[in-house]
Amino acid sequence: MMRRFLLIATPYAWLLALFLVPFAIVLKISLSDVALARPPYVPQFSWEEGIGAFLSQLDLENFVFLTQDDLYWKAYLSSLRIAVMSTVLTLLVGYPVAYAMARAPQEWRPTLMMLVILPFWTSFLIRVYAWMGILSNEGYLNQFLLGIGAISEPLTILNTQVAVYIGIVYTYLPFMILPIYSALDRLDGSLIEAAEDLGCSRAQAFWLVTIPLSRPGIIAGCFLVFIPVLGEFVIPSLLGGSGTLMIGKVLWEEFFNNRDWPVASAVAVILLLILIVPIILFQRNQQKQAEAEQ
């Protein structure tokens, strides 16, 4: 009994220590006031006064402020758009790669897997800086295109949203490939053969059998890409320049430039809710489907 309790309590303790407690701290700061004389903020809750006094003077002025300043909701919408587009692009690139890996000879699969995870052996920041050198006006990409005569003058790619999409797709591509490959690797090849024997072409068997059976990997990959991209800060800052508006950059500016911790915490709370609500709804839908299949 004690062993079962410890087994169950361990992940909940981990969740409490590394998620719920930090979230409670951020939520508390988001309900505080900005301090002009002694930054970064004046807390509205103290153990001496008790929680009753805190609730009596509780206000949501920081959250209301976010709705009044169009910078924040524009940053949320821009981040959502970039995250969705990046997830779609990563899926379009990653699915064929994962499919080719799953259909490759067995002896080649470990090598292909190593090539997919090879970028993780290098620092994330170094890889982003490398793309700055590749995409700049004097970078390797423009030099290559000029060398083969594809363009007559250098293209402006760096400090645009195109560079942001390139950096995100490159960085998060392994997170899309690996779960899809795992789903495709477990796929029973006899099901595809049965579909072809029943009159399906290879394309029809792919759409009717392979895609539906690999859906769990697709969904997992999309979540693994969408969630971190929505709050991405490094890639839009280094590759997108000042013209790219994302909520991660706004958070950094509020915390470190403006020193407005309450507003920054309110931004972080809303961002977290945006991420958590779809995940909870998806999990409930999956649970209902599993119960219906039983």
Cβ partners under 8 Å of residue 227, min gap 6: 275
Q: Which of 24-33, 50-59, 94-103, 254-263 is predicted least confidently?
A: 50-59
For 148-177, write each residue's pLDDT tens digit: 988 888 888 898 999 999 999 999 999 999
**pLDDT-derived band at 36, boundaries 50, 70, 90:** low
Handedness of CA 125, 130, 131, 137 (dihedral sign): positive
Q: Grade residue 44 by pLDDT with cuts at 50, 70 and 90.
A: low
> How large is the average pLDDT for residues 205-227?
90
The mean-pLDDT minimum among 6-20, 168-182, 248-262 falls in 6-20
pTM score of the predicted model: 0.86
Mean pLDDT for 64-87 is 91
Q: Position of tokens 């990653």?
A: 94
Query: In the prediction, which pLDDT does 287 show?
Result: 77
Q: What is the reported pLDDT for 165? A: 95
CA 49 to chain centre: 40
pLDDT over 70 (residue 45): no
Which tokens belong to 158? 């760096």
* Mean pLDDT (the chain, rounded): 85
CATH classification code of 69-259: 1.10.3720.10
pLDDT above 70: percentage of residues in the chain: 90
What totals of helices (H) and strands (E) does the chain contain, helices first? 16, 2
Contact of 79 with 168, CB cutoff 8 Å = no
Q: Inform me whether the pLDDT recorded for 234 exceeds 70.
A: yes
Sketch the domain layout of the chain as residue ranges.
69-259
Main-chain phi, psi angles of 42, to 5 degrees: -110, 115
User: What does the pLDDT look like over 185-207, one tens digit per residue?
Assistant: 988 878 888 887 788 888 888 88
Q: What confidence category does residue 283 fall into, taking pLDDT thresholds of 50, 70 and 90? A: confident
**Residue 57, pLDDT above cutoff 70:** no
Among 264, 282, 280, CA closest to 75: 264
Closest CA to 234 of 94, 131, 91: 131
Confidence grade of residue 112 (pLDDT, cut at 50, 70, 90): very high
- Length of the chain, please? 294
Average pLDDT estimate for 65-93: 92
- For range 119-131, the mean pLDDT: 91
